[in-house]
């Protein structure tokens, strides 16, 4: 089962590169892990725990060599929403529900992988995923504003968050606000200018970009030191506080079946969204080095990572975009980089936790806000608007429904909307009555082309595979055409664009065949593709067909013209 | 709004034909109305009420000239299931919930019609509808067995019905069973032989077939007379009993919002299933006379019929298959036939109700059982099995889930399964690496055809529209092909089978373009259809494309060969 192909030919050079990448990723992962634990409403140490064993589990099983697994923003938000529905934040039940959620996600992912059901994520279209992530980014940023304002606000939707934040403003805490704002400004400045500063100091562009990613660590160190020296605790600035020192204890998650039922749908959604995010990162990075990732193995790898997270006191994890890119850019060559990063985080859990006592929550909130603003992609809206109304509707609906009704309803509605639109589009496919282009064997739409037709022959080209969603429309098209014209003796369906046919469409063809027969019209087919012909031969339709099958539309038209001329 | 086009040129001949058809349909509708009221768990008179005003409403608005609207078996079963969940059979609440259900179905249908949302019924594939009707037929027949056994059994699923029927056998009532069995045998004999007997008596085939349809009326008359003479009531045979005499009182349905919420989903499903059944009958009959039906107007017509049913104490109705065929075969030419049949049923309600007192319920149950066995279509299973695994899976899943979990879950799961299978099939479309057929401009699959290829050029033909469900698969295909071959400099995507492209697929193409560029491979497209090209031009993809657009695959292959030869 483990995928250790990368061990073959593992050399000192590879080790060096993996080690460098692991160091960079560890430095980046520490603040991220703490921040996303905060976002999920969990104690800071759970963020660290979710970044140790899951990395090892994925490294041993997953198929991407450079994917970096751990807590990510959107999944942390979905965890907060799901667990917030079944337990109160800050309680033991809340933490154990998050652990159970990781276990369930892991089992779902492994199950999907073993059943080779990776294809289900194809139902999540780009506009839906993009809209969902944009809306999640907004919800995440808003949910963190309370830590910047030093107030107590909550909510899972835009109206709830805005309302609760507004109501809580009376508790506004200036010192906290100053800390949060300073960090925000610092991080934004770093993002905007740090790479060029570093390059002016003589670093290469790629090194400068890597150093820029360490800005949150600088902010954390700086605010910890300030908090210690200025005694933020006495001022009432919320700090992370006591974080247990040491590695996570391994223990089997407690399984409460009532909770399992309540968390089933969220666990499924977290699995799917996490997988889509992770696999798209993995595929993008893999393509750069001609390495392929195997979706079904990815499911099992991510599932194992989540199970490992559950057994070591973590919460749901997946492959993160920004940190995988850092891992890749820092030179990681194999999964060993992930495993070494896990060791790095483990050392941090052993050695650095006392320092975290003084870390202001506002600092973590600021790093989250800056990170998630990168997720918000308004350009997608403009792009979809220009490209097609259906994609625009899908992205808009997903954004609005996620903002207004929360992440779970949002993503489900987005999928439903995009499926509905796809079916709507294919249920009324483009079709054309075609005529012969003089002097050629070509046939073109009678509207817009100078073509000749025969009064007794109607040739119809349907530009879509025939299946249940457009089967009745096909009947309507054909009968509408013959209803207009009493002279017609032959209908030719030109099937050059028909890639597939299902039983509903076959029955529509039979209805058309019988219906035309009652009007003394023959039905002919032309240009049927080989796989479609194979399918048709499995029924008795061809034996009942009143007309003929022609290889080309030209043959059909010529033969039927001759037939009508001679009769 | 009313559709009275048929009044134009209405003549004495037409009136005569409509009158004949109306008489035949009235005779057939009386037992059907009573039986389906029994099936829905409602008093017999509600069946008559549902066959008066709804026929008039549909006649004035609907677009089919020969559709006969009224209670039908599957909708009556769905009504029993839905109403049985919110009220106890036999109570006033039960009847008023059925009336409310008719009102809600009517409003939903009118709403869908006004929004031109008739296309949503396209989501119900033939295998799903056929499987659903087969399973419903089985459930209906089983649900009526208690009236034949004279026992008290109930249930909404196969296990419930079988269990309840088995448990109730201790109350088995022999006289009732004898009545039921005699009627069953009589009806089966009539169905098998009556047409030939009548033809031997000198009737034409079509008249003989019409007389055969009147067999239930004979059974009803015979059992009423027997019940009166042998005093079935004293023997304990369940009779229809007191039926209020007269026309239905017009009154606005009572609207209970808690009930509205509980009945919302069943009302939607009843509307959709009823519409699908009705529109397929209307379309089949219309095609025989070159008459078209307008789906959106049909929605409004059926909606009006249900609203009329609700205001006159009826229950949900739709266009019935058997009775519409009778109407058509008996020579109905316009909607006037329906309106006259309504008058016929009205007269029956005024004059015949005292007779119904003595009608054994077992007689009605037997007519239902014989009618619904015609709905059970096992051949569909064999047909689907031969035709395609996906259609077989859809029909099997729908039958099993409907039998085991009931009509509502059954139809929803059936739709979900068929949508899922469609997406699964199109998510892994057929594709082929193609090569040039020597001496022609044709390109064929390199597997199975004798074609020539160039080591630096890979040509891939994808036989499916490109959309979100197969966008990632497209990436996988392309990168898998180039990963196998280090010499490749050009990838040509042959788009002759691509009827449409959405934003997800566009992004996949962009990913492919960028990914190939990093491997120093150019991406070219050939044979793009005009509508797809129009769509592509709305994005900036073509400006970033590393390669070229070619009209034909032959041009692409020639040009790239020349390019590589000269370089």
The string of DSSP codes covering B73-86 is HHHHHHHHHHHHTT
In DSSP terms, which residues pair with A490 in a beta bridge? Answer: A457, A522
B465 touches chain A (CB under 8 A): yes
DSSP strand pairing (A69-70 vs B318-319): unpaired
- The proportion of chain B whose per-residue pLDDT surpasses 70, expressed as a percent, equals 99
Q: Does A538 touch chain B (CB under 8 A)?
A: yes
**How many Å lie between the alpha carbon of B237 and the closest alpha carbon of chain A?**
45
Q: How far is B102 from B50, CA to CA, in rounded Å?
A: 10
- pLDDT at position A293 is 76
A549-550 and A522-526 strand pairing: parallel
Cα→Cα distances A170→A141, A146, A148, A152, A260, Å = 20, 12, 14, 10, 39
Region B305-324 average pLDDT: 93
Contact: B468, A125; criterion CB under 8 Å: yes
Q: How confident is the model at residue A1 (pLDDT cuts 50, 70, 90)?
A: low
Structure tokens at A228: 């210690």
Please tell me which of the candidates A121, A287, A473 has its beta carbon nearest to residue B479.
Answer: A287
Residue where the block lists tokens 């007689």? B363
Q: What residues in B contact A500, CB-CB < 8 Å?
A: 425-426, 464
Q: What is the pLDDT of residues B366-417, one digit of tens each?
A: 999 998 888 888 988 998 999 989 999 999 999 999 999 998 889 888 888 8
Section A253-273 average pLDDT: 92
State residue B312's pLDDT score.
95
Whole-angstrom Cα distance, residue B151 to residue B358? 19
A510 against A485, higher pLDDT: A510
**Cross-chain Cβ contact A507/B126 below 8 Å:** yes
Residues of A in contact with B125 (CB under 8 A): 467-469, 471, 502-504
Q: A378: how many CB neighbours lie within 10 A of its CB?
A: 9
Both tokens of B283, joined, read: 């379309």
CA of A472: which chain B residue's CA is closest?
A: B122
* CA B383/CA A538 separation, integer angstroms: 9
The nearest CA of chain B is from the CA of A463 a distance in Å of 6
At which residue do the structure tokens 């008359």 appear?
A: B221
Please judge whether A463 and B531 are an interchain contact, meaning their C-beta atoms are less than 8 angstroms apart. yes
The partner residues of B444 in beta bridges, in order of sequence, read B435
Kindly report the nearest CA distance between residue A268 and chain B, in angstroms. Answer: 16
Give helix then strand counts, H and E, for chain A: 26, 8
- Tens-digit pLDDT profile for residues A92-108: 999 999 999 999 999 99
Contacts of B13 (CB under 8 A, 6+ apart): none
What is the per-residue pLDDT for A36? 94
**H-helix or E-strand containing A492?**
strand A490-494
Would you call A519 helix, strand, or coil by DSSP? coil
B555 touches B526 (CB < 8 A): yes
Q: Residue A101: what pLDDT?
A: 97
pLDDT over 90 at B52, yes or no: yes
Average pLDDT over residues B442-467: 89
Smallest Cβ–Cβ distance between B387 and the set A126, A418, A503 belongs to A503
Looking at CA atoms only, how far is residue A11 from chain B in angstroms? 24
pTM of the predicted structure, to 2 decimals: 0.79
pLDDT score for B13: 87
Q: What is the pLDDT of residues A306-352, one digit of tens each?
A: 999 999 999 999 998 888 888 888 888 898 999 999 999 999 999 98
Cα–Cα distance for residue pair B334/B10, rounded to 1 Å: 9
Question: Taking residues A75-86, what's their average pLDDT?
Answer: 94
pLDDT over 90 at B306, yes or no: yes
* Confidence (pLDDT) at B541: 93
Q: For A490-516, what is each residue's pLDDT tens digit?
A: 999 999 889 899 998 998 999 899 989
Higher pLDDT, A486 or B524: B524
Residues within 8 A of B (CB atoms), A 9-48 only: none
DSSP B289: T
Mean pLDDT score, B214-230: 91
Does any CB of chain B come closer than 8 Å to the CB of residue A131?
A: no
Minimum CA–CA partner of A495 in chain B = B497
> Can you give the pLDDT at residue A121?
77
Cβ separation A287–B518 shorter than 8 A: yes
Q: How far is B339 from chain A (nearest CA, A)?
A: 27
Output the CA–CA distances (angstroms, integers) from residue B97 to B86, B154, B248, B317, in the order listed.
8, 19, 17, 15
Percent of chain A's residues with pLDDT above 90: 51
- Residues of chain B with Cβ-Cβ distance to A515 below 8 Å are 284, 287-288
Contact B71, B315 (CB under 8 A): yes
Question: Is B504:B473 a contact under the CB 8 Å cutoff?
Answer: no
Kindly state the DSSP code that residue A413 receives in the 8-state scheme.
Answer: H
pLDDT digits (tens, 9 = 90+) for A400-409: 999 999 988 8
Return the residue of A nearest to B535 by Cα: A387
Q: Looking at residues B473-489, what average pLDDT do you find?
A: 86
Whether B389 and chain A come into contact, CB under 8 Å, resolves to no
Q: Is B329 on the interface with A (CB under 8 A)?
A: no
Q: For residue range A139-191, list pLDDT tens digits in order.
A: 999 999 999 998 888 888 999 999 999 898 888 999 999 999 999 999 999 98
Gap between the Cα atoms of B109 and B115, Å rounded: 10
Q: Which homologous superfamily does the CATH classification assign to the domain defined by A431-566? A: STAS domain (3.30.750.24)
Closest partner residue to B288 among A418, A518, A538, by Cβ?
A: A518
Let me know: does B219 contact B366? Beta carbons within 8 Å. Answer: yes
| C-beta atoms of B531 and A127 within 8 A | no
How close B87 gets to chain A, by Cα (Å)?
28
Long-range CB contacts for residues A4-13, cutoff 8 Å, separation at least 24 = A4/A60, A6/A65, A6/A333, A6/A334, A6/A335, A6/A336, A7/A334, A10/A334, A10/A336
**Across all residues in chain B, what is the average pLDDT?**
90
* Prediction ipTM score: 0.79
Contact yes or no for A136/A380 (Cβ under 8 A): no
Q: Where along chain B do the CATH 3.30.750.24 domains lie?
A: 431-566
Q: How far is CA B472 from CA B99, B194, B370, B419, B428, in A?
A: 50, 61, 52, 19, 10
Mean pLDDT over B125-148 rounds to 91
Between residues 495 and 524 of chain A, which touch chain B (CB distance below 8 Å)? 497, 499-500, 502-504, 506-507, 511, 515, 518-519
Any idea which residue has 């012969």 for tokens? A436
Mean pLDDT of B158-173: 91
Edge-to-edge strand ranges of the sheet holding B443-445: B443-445, B431-436, B457-462, B490-494, B522-526, B549-550
Q: Do B390 and A502 touch (CB under 8 A)?
A: yes
Q: For chain A, what is the mean pLDDT?
A: 90
With a cut of 90, say whether residue A559 has pLDDT above it: yes
Contacts of B303 (CB under 8 A, 6+ apart): B105, B106, B107, B108, B109, B110, B111, B112, B113
**A105-137 pLDDT, tens digit each:** 999 999 999 998 877 777 788 888 889 999 999
pLDDT for residue B519? 87
Give the residue with greater pLDDT, A366 vs A441: A366
In the block, tokens 């919420």 appear at B261
Residues above pLDDT 90, as percent of chain B: 51
SS3 content of chain A, % helix, strand, coil (to 5): 65, 5, 25
φ/ψ (deg, to 5) at A525:
-125, 145
pLDDT band at B116 (very low <50, low <70, confident <90, very high): confident
Is the predicted pLDDT of residue B1 greater than 70, yes or no? Answer: no
Selecting from B125, B469, B507 the residue whose C-beta is nearest the C-beta of A504 gives: B125
Question: What's the longest Cα–Cα distance across chain A?
Answer: 105
The answer to whether B424 contacts A119, with C-beta atoms less than 8 Å apart, is yes
Asked whether the beta carbons of A177 and A149 are under 8 A apart, the reply is yes
DSSP class of residue B132 equals H
Confidence class of residue B63 from pLDDT cuts 50, 70 and 90?
confident
C-alpha–C-alpha distance, residues B126 and B395, integer Å: 9
Whether the predicted pLDDT of A542 surpasses 90: yes
A63 contact B CB<8A: no
Largest CA distance in chain B: 105
B67-96 residues touching A, CB cutoff 8 A: none
Residue B428 clears pLDDT 90, i.e. is over it = no
The pLDDT of residue A83 is 95
Q: Give strand pairing partners of A239.
A: A360
A18-21, long-range: CB within 8 Å, 24+ apart, which pairs? A18/A331, A18/A332, A18/A333, A18/A334, A18/A336, A18/A337, A18/A340, A19/A337, A19/A340, A20/A330, A20/A331, A21/A326, A21/A327, A21/A328, A21/A330, A21/A331, A21/A332, A21/A337, A21/A341
Label the pairing between strands B443-445 and B431-436. Answer: antiparallel
| Chain B touched by A424 (CB under 8 Å) | yes
Cβ-based neighbour number of residue A320 at 10 Å: 27
pLDDT tier at B317 (50, 70, 90 boundaries)?
Answer: very high
- Return the half-sphere exposure (C-beta side, CA atoms, 13 A cut-off) of residue B271: 30
Distance CA B56, CA B279 (A): 18
pLDDT of residue A118: 78
Average pLDDT over residues B103-113: 96
Rounded to 5 degrees, φ, ψ at B412 are: -65, -45
pLDDT at B3 over 90: no
pLDDT at B182 over 80: yes
């Amino acid at each position: 089962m483990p995928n250790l192909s990368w061990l073959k030919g593992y050399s000192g050079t590879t080790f060096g590169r993996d080690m460098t990448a692991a160091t960079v990723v560890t430095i980046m992962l520490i603040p991220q892990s703490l921040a996303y634990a905060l976002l999920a409403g969990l104690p800071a140490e759970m963020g660290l725990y979710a970044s140790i064993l899951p990395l090892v589990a994925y490294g041993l099983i997953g198929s991407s060599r450079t994917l970096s697994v751990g807590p990510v923003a959107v999944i942390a938000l979905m965890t907060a929403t799901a667990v917030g529905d079944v337990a109160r934040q800050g309680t033991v039940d809340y933490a154990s529900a998050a652990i159970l959620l990781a276990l369930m996600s892991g089992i779902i992912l492994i199950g999907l992988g073993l059943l080779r059901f990776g294809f289900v994520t194809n139902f999540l279209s780009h506009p839906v995923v993009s809209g969902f992530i944009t809306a999640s980014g907004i919800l995440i940023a808003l949910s963190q504003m309370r830590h910047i304002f030093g107030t107590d606000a909550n909510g899972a939707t835009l109206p709830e968050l805005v309302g609760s934040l507004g109501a809580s403003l009376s508790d506004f805490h200036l010192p906290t606000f100053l800390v949060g704002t300073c960090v925000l400004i610092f991080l934004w400045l770093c993002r905007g200018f740090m790479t060029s500063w570093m390059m002016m100091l003589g670093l290469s562009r790629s090194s400068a970009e890597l150093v820029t990613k360490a800005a949150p660590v600088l902010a954390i160190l700086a605010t910890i030191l300030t908090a210690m020296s200025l005694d933020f605790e006495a001022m009432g600035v919320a700090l992370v506080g006591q974080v247990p020192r040491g590695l996570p204890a391994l223990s089997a998650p407690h399984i409460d079946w009532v909770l399992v039922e309540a968390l089933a749908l969220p666990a499924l959604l977290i699995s799917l969204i996490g997988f889509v995010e992770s696999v798209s990162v993995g595929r993008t990075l893999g393509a750069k080095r001609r390495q392929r990732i195997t979706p079904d193995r990815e499911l099992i790898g991510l599932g194992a990572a989540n199970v490992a997270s559950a057994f070591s006191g973590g919460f749901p994890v997946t492959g993160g975009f920004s940190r995988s890119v850092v891992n890749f850019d820092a030179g990681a060559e194999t999964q060993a980089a992930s495993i070494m990063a896990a060791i790095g985080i483990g050392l941090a859990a052993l050695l650095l936790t006392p320092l975290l006592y003084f870390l202001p929550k506002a600092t973590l909130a600021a790093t989250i806000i800056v990170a998630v603003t990168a997720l918000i992609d308004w350009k997608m809206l403009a792009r979809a608007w220009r490209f097609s109304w259906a994609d625009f509707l899908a992205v808009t609906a997903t954004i609005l429904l996620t903002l207004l009704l929360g992440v779970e309803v949002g993503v489900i509605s987005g999928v439903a909307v995009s499926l509905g639109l796809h079916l709507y589009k294919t249920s009324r496919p483009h079709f054309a009555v075609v005529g012969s282009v003089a002097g050629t064997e070509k046939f073109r739409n009678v509207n817009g082309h100078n073509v000749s037709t025969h009064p007794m022959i109607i040739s119809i080209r349907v530009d879509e595979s025939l299946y249940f969603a457009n089967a009745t429309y096909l009947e309507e098209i054909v009968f509408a055409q013959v209803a207009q014209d009493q002279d017609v003796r032959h209908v030719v369906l030109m099937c050059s664009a028909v890639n597939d046919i299902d039983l509903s469409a076959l029955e529509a063809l039979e209805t058309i065949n019988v219906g035309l027969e009652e009007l003394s019209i023959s039905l002919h087919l032309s240009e049927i593709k080989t796989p479609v012909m194979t399918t048709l031969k499995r029924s008795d339709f061809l034996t009942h067909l009143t007309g003929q099958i022609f290889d080309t539309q030209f043959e059909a038209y010529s033969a039927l013209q001759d037939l009508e001329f001679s009769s």
